[in-house]
Amino acid sequence: MIDPTIPGPRLSEAPAVGARPTTAQLLAGRVLYQENARFLPRLRDCVDAKLSGVVMTGKKADERASQLREAGYRGVLLIDSAAYMTHTATPDEPFLLPQDSLFNDLDNCLTFQLHRGADVALTPTGYIPPAASKVLKAVMRAAKQIERDDVVVVLPVDIAWLNPEHIAQFIAACTEIRQPKAVILTRQFDPLKAFKEAPANLRRLVSEVEHIALLRTDLAALDAMTYGALFAGIGADSSIRHAVPAGERPQTAQNGGGAQFPSVLLPNLMRFSWGPTLANRYANAEPVRCDCPACQGRGLDRFNTPDGPTRIESEDHNAYTWGAWVNELAACSSAAERRQLWRDRCAHAVGRYELENVRIEQPRAFQAPPALKAWASLPTGDDTPAPAEGGPRGVSSAAG
C-alpha cells in the first residue's frame, strides 16, 4: 500500500537542487481547481499556490488557459480538452486528435498544450466503456509509446470498471502505465452512487497504484488524496464535478434545463446542494452561515439566482471551503493521522444530518450521500476503532 504524503512529493521524489521537477513532483499533493472553460477565466484568491492549481476544462480549455496566463496566473495549470465527452475510444483510435491542423498527431497535440500555458500535458483520451478490455489495452499500448516525461495519461472510464468484477483488471492495467495517470469516472449523476462497492474500490485503486490521480470529481478527491492519490481535481460547478459517457447529454435532477443555478457546498454536512433547494429549505429557518472569505458570515441560502456574480461567488465559497480541509489534511504529521482526521470529519458530518433536519423542522430535508457514509465508516487500515459521531480533532463545525 502506498503511504500518501500531503503536501508535496514523497521524499524519494524530491527534485535535485536546480533540477526541473518531474511531472509527479510538480503535481504531488495538489487538489486542483477544475475550471469550466465555458466562462472567461479569472484570478482567484481561493486557489492556493502551494496545494492547488487550475485545470481548465472543456472545448475552449486551451484558449482559456492562455487567457489565464495572460491575466497573470503563475501557478500550476493543466488543460483538459474533455475529449471523452465526444469521442469513445477504440482499439485503433484511443485518443481524439485534430484532423485539420498542424497538431494532428499525439506528440504535437501534447506540445500545443504546453504552448498554451500548461505545465504538463494531458492525453486526449476518449471515453473507455465498461468491460472494453481491448480499448483499455490500446490506451496502455499508446501510453508505452509516449517517450516524453511531461505527460499525464488520462483514463476516462465508466464507473463499471470499479465494480467487483472488473476492479482487479483495471488496477493491473493502471499499474502497467509508467506515467502518472488521471482517472475520470463517468456516469450520469454521481458515479459513486452506481453500486455500493464504488467508494471502497476507488480507495483500493488509489492505494494500490502508484502515481494515480482522480480528476473531475467532488469531495471524492479528498478521500482519494487521503488514501494515496498523487493529485486530484474538484470541479468548479456541478457539470465539471463528474463526466457522462461520450455523446450523452448530462441529465439533471433539477429543472431539466433552462437557467443554471449554483451548487453550493454545505460545510457542516459535507455535501453540494442546489442553490434554490437551500433557499427553499431555509425559507422559514435560520440558514447555515459560513465564515470563509467569500461569505464573511452570510447565510448559504443566498445563491438563488443564475447570474454570473452569484455563480462566481458560490464557486469561490466552495473552493475556500474544501481548500481549508486540504490544508488541515496537509498539516497532519503522518498518513495515519490524516486518515483518522478525514474519517472523523466525515463521521461528524453524517451525524449532523439528523440534527440539521430537526433544527429546521423538516425530517427528511437532507440525506447523507452514500459516499460520505462510506468514508465515515470504512476502515482506515490503521486498526483504529470506528469514530463516534462527533467533531474531528481540532476542527470546528461550520454550522450556524
pLDDT of the residue at 384: 52
Q: If 0-12 CB within 10 Å is exposed, 13-18 middle and 19+ buried, where does residue 283 land?
A: exposed
- The conformation of residue 187, written as its DSSP 8-state character, comes to -
H helical segments located in the chain: 23-27, 61-70, 106-115, 133-144, 167-176, 198-208, 220-226, 275-281, 308-330, 335-359, 370-377
pLDDT of the residue at 382: 81
pLDDT of the residue at 251: 83
Which residues of the chain have a pLDDT value below 70? Answer: 1-18, 100-103, 253-258, 383-400
pLDDT of the residue at 18: 63
Q: List all residues 6 or more positions away from 97 whose beta carbon is below 8 Å from its beta carbon.
A: 103, 104, 105, 106, 109, 124
* Rounded (10°) CA dihedral 168, 169, 172, 174: -110
pLDDT of the residue at 99: 77
pLDDT digits (tens, 9 = 90+) for 54-66: 999 999 999 999 9
Percent of the chain with pLDDT over 90: 85
Q: Give the integer Cα–Cα distance in Å for 100 and 263.
A: 38
Instruction: Answer whether 157's CB lies under 8 Å from 174's CB.
Output: no
pLDDT of the residue at 260: 85
Q: How far is CA 337 from CA 4, 84, 150, 226, 380, in A?
A: 11, 37, 32, 10, 10
- The conformation of residue 286, written as its DSSP 8-state character, comes to P
Taking alpha carbons only, the member of 381, 77, 54, 23 closest to residue 226 is 381
Q: List all residues 6 or more positions away from 244 whose beta carbon is below 8 Å from its beta carbon.
A: 85, 186, 187, 188, 250, 251
Domains of the chain (ranges, CATH numbers): 11-240 (3.20.20), 263-377 (no CATH)
Amino acid 373 reads K
